[in-house]
Each structure stands twice: as C-alpha cells, then as structure tokens.
Amino acid sequence: MINSQNKIIIDTREKKPLWYGKNTTKKKLEVGDYTNKKKIGIIHIERKSPGDLYQSIIQQHDRFRRELIKAKQLKIKLFILVECAKNTFLKKLWNDHSTELQTPTKTLQQIIETIERKYETPIIWCKNRNEMKKIIKMILKWKTYKKY
C-alpha cells in the first residue's frame, strides 16, 4: 500500500492517465499532469506522446510557452517526459504521416534546447509507458529537491 503522501495526483485534464485506482487521486493542477502530496507545488511532471509534444511546440506553442512560464513563476520544477526516443522524435519516425510534418529536424532540436535552457525544464525521453511510470515515481521520491 502506498503512503498517502506518495499517492500519485493526476491532473483532471489528463486524457490518458498512466495510473488508475486507489493509489491515485485526481485534482486540477496549475501545471503538469502528475505530482504527489509531498511534491505538489514543488515538482510536477508533464507527460507527452510524441504527437502531443510536436503539437505543443509547433502548433500550440503560445499556450505551451505560457505553461512553461507559469511553472517558472510559481517556482514549480516542471519535467517533461516524452513517450519515445529523442532521435525518433526529431526524425519524426513516430508518425505514419511524417512527410506532412514540415518542421525540419534542426528546428525541432533548437526548440527542445530552448525549452530546456530558457525555461529550465528538462525533457526526458522514455522508451514506453512503463519506463515513464518508473521515472515519474523516481522523480517524485527525490528528497532533496526544494523550490528554486
């Protein structure tokens, strides 16, 4: 059984949660999709499929930028976890219609570097949902991370 402080909090707007059941609770989060009681307002995690990330940084970049700025203003350390390898994302190999995606690899790389540098938001590339779940739990167990 999970300690109530470690129970995963899932944002109410999360469409495809990684977890269901008694070890989770739903709550509207200011930013991100996941946290826990100990880390709420300190560390939040934004889960992205490769398509979500592409859409967020290319087609909905203003909204996504506002979320990154909001996390920084609230002093919440936001981590972005993406459900694919970085190279797979950059080369658009995750999409059957990759020829329709016009953004060059170099531009995608520059945007990713800007997010990590300017907004101090690490992007972590995960092989699959199971690896993503393990990484989220690991991040939320960090004891020494405090608001920056």
Q: Which tokens go with 121?
A: 């938001």
Domains and CATH numbers, the chain: 41-141 (3.40.50.10130)
148: pLDDT strictly greater than 70: no
pLDDT digit string, tens, across residues 13-36? 998 899 888 889 999 999 999 999
- How far from 34 is each of 42, 80, 97, 115, CA to CA, in Å? 11, 10, 30, 19
Q: What is the pLDDT of residues 108-141, one digit of tens each?
A: 999 999 999 999 999 999 999 999 999 999 999 8
How far from 14 is each of 9, 47, 109, 130, 141, CA to CA, in Å?
Answer: 11, 9, 26, 17, 21
Query: Which tops the pLDDT comparison, 4 or 110?
Result: 110
Tell me what the pLDDT averaged over the chain comes to. Answer: 90
Overall average pLDDT of the 76-103 stretch: 86
Query: No. of H helices and E strands in the chain?
Result: 5, 6
The residue count for the chain: 148
